[in-house]
Structures are given as structure tokens and as C-alpha cells.
Structure 1
Amino acid sequence: MAGEEPIVSGMASRYANALFELASEQNAIDSVAADLGRFNGLVEESADLKRLVRSPVFSSEEQTKAVTAVLERAGIGGIAANFIKLAAHNRRLFAVGDMIAAFTALVAKARGQASAEVTAAQPLSDDNLNVLKDSLKSATGKDVSLNVKVDPSLIGGLIVKIGSRMIDASLKTKLQSIKIAMKEVG
């Protein structure tokens, strides 16, 4: 529709849209979303896998071979595995996190949900995730799917991005604000 902002744009969007169409045709959106979420979790947990995914040093063949082994070991197959292997083969593995986030946003939109990117200083417990989902649901009036990343540099707290809104309640930002305020006073 005219005037409507796209959820995502660029290369990640093209890959995510193609994957979403394929998963829709095969009635596999839920399984693909679950597999991509598991792969994203593996990348977040493993420094070696994160390096493999992000580093331009590895060749397409090396990335494809390594990712294939990781996917097999994690029990991720089908459309999601083929998608990740294709990204590796096309030298786009560095953007797979953005592709997964874009796919998640498309799934959320199709379900009438909102999609939120949450960055936390440490992994969130299931109770914390449920409280956050409930809070965001009451604020937006929609069910909210969460894409959670961990960034220890935040020290504490959260950064939540939902649509065009961002709420930064991280300790890092609060400390920076105090530092700036103290410089102005002194």
C-alpha cells in the first residue's frame, strides 16, 4: 500500500521475503521460524560460530561446509537449513542475523503481532520474557514476538525496539547520561 513503511529493506529483506513466500507455500512457517530461532541462538552462544558467520576471511566453501556440520549437529533441516546454506554459498552469511530478524518480522505481521528487538545485558529467564511480553502487549495492544540478543556491554537493563520506537533502559546509557551531566556542571 502507498505510504506504508516496509518492515525491512535491502538485501536482508529480499532474502527474508523469498524465504517467507517459500515457507508459506509449504505450510512450514512455524517450523522454519523455530529452526531459524534455534540457529540464531547457537550463533549468540558460540564465539567460534559467531566469528565464522561474520568474518570475511572464510571462503564460501569453508562457511558452507562448517554451517552444514553445525546444522546437522543441531538437528536443523529442511527449508531453514537450505536457506542458511544458500546464504553461506552466496557469501551472505554475515547478514543471516538480519535476514532472520526480517523473516521474524514478516511472520509477526502475518499473524497480526508486533515484533520487538530486545537487547539485554544477560540472558533473560522465561519469567522475565513473559513479563516483558505482557508489558509490550499492554502497551501495543498486540501479541509481541521477541528477538532477544545479549550484549554484556550494557552492564544491566534492556534496550527494546518495537516498530519505530526505542526504549533504552540500559545501565550503560544511564551512566553515560550522568557523565555528560557532570561535565556540564563542572
Structure 2
Amino acid sequence: MSEPASISSGIAQRYAAAIFELAKESKSLAGLEANVDGLDAALADSADLREMIASPVISRAAQEKAITALGSKMGLDKTVCNALALMAQNRRLFVLPQLVACLRAMISEEKGEVTAEVISAKALTKTQAANLAKTLQERVGKAVKINATVDDTLIGGLVVKVGSQMIDTSIRSRLNSLQNAMKEVG
């Protein structure tokens, strides 16, 4: 990991640990999980939000005002809103995507589940996602939460990442393997 990425990860980890412990003490982990899902969706959907948290040109006060307004509009817990305001005051909003990932991992660990990153050529149906989760649960031995994304360049098949393990059954991967085998022959 590069040094800036390591520093960002460390900052996010510290804020996530504090937020998680406060939520755990107040027995509001379910609310925290909903907040994390909301923040993740907001980051994915809003280019303006991603630009605002990363911009060194926007003042601390403006970032704090914007993130506080966003938190109020989204109905985020007071603990999360206060943490986001503190991050803005300290010029740390740029780690928000890592913070969301850290909190998601902490919540999953607390619930005794693992998150499987699934990339497919087309969107999985609910039945397919449930069957995949069941199969992965049998293999991993823990409850599995599916985080699905779509990448049409896969052509077909799936790429599944659970922890440090990756299963790539995509057609793109198979075509690349065939191409490499053909190069070795010729």
C-alpha cells in the first residue's frame, strides 16, 4: 500500500473505531448500519459530494456546513453527524469512502458475517443472490452479505471476492487465459 493510502486508511480507521464504539455503547448498531448504507449510496450517486469532500479549495467552514446539511437531510444519527462535522473541521472528509468501508467491515464482524464483493455481467436477481449467499455461507462458514456490482465488460459469469480469496468465472477471464495459451503455442 502506498504511503498516502496507508495514512488515509489509518485516519479512517481511527474515526470508524470511535463512531463504532459510540454506536455500540448506545446499542444503535442497526441505525449505524443504515447510516453507512446511506452514506455509501450518497457517495456513489453524487459527483458533487465526492468533489466537495476531496476539494482543498473549499473551506473547512463550507465543508462543515455542507456535510451537516447533508447529514440532517439524510436523517443520520447525531453521533455520525457530529463525527462528520469534526472531520470537516479537521480537513479529514477526504477519507469518507474509507470510513464507510471500515464501518461496514466492523459492523459485519460484530454481526458475525463476511461481505462478498460480487461483480457480474448483468444484475443478479434476488434468487441468484440468495443462492450465491447460501453457497458462499456453506464454504466460508459465516453468514455472507452480498455487495453486488455490474460490469458488462465481463461478458458473462461472476467475479467473487470474499476476504483474500477471489473466484473468477467470468468469460473475459477465460478468454484472456485462452489468449495467453495461444500466445505460448505460437
Percent identity for Structure 1 against Structure 2 = 40
Q: Say if 2:82 is the partner of 1:79.
A: no
Larger CA Rg, structure 1 vs 2: 2
CA apart distance, 1:182: 4.6
Structure 2 CA distance, aligned partners of 1:58 and 1:40?
Answer: 22
More helix by share: 2
> Corresponding residue for 2:46?
46
CA distance in 1, matches of 2:55, 2:123: 24
* Structure 2 counterparts to residues 1-186 of structure 1, below 5 A: 10-120=10-120, 124-148=124-148, 157-170=157-170, 172-186=172-186
Opposite residue 76 of structure 1, the aligned amino acid is L
**Amino acid paired to 1:20:** F
Change (3 A) 1:161 1:68: same
Q: Which moved more, 1:17-26 or 1:155-164?
A: 155-164
Cα gap change, 1:158 to 1:111, in 2 (>3 Å): same
- How many angstroms does 1:26 deviate by? 0.9
CA-based RMSD of the aligned residues comes to 3.0
Whole-angstrom distance in 2 between the partners of 1:130 and 1:152 = 21
Distance 1:123 1:38 in 2: 21
CA distance in 2, matches of 1:60, 1:156: 46
Whichever residue aligns with residue 61 of structure 2, its letter is E
TM-score (norm 1): 0.74
Gap change, CA 1:20 and 1:134, over 3 Å in 2: same
Distance 1:133 1:28, change over 3 A: same
Which 10-residue stretch deviates more, 169-178 or 110-119? Answer: 169-178
CA distance in 2, matches of 1:29, 1:99: 15
Once residues 113 and 78 of structure 1 are traced to their aligned partners in structure 2, the CA distance between those partners, rounded to angstroms, is 26
TM-score relative to the length of structure 2: 0.74
Q: Is the 8 A contact 2:117 2:160 kept in 1?
A: yes
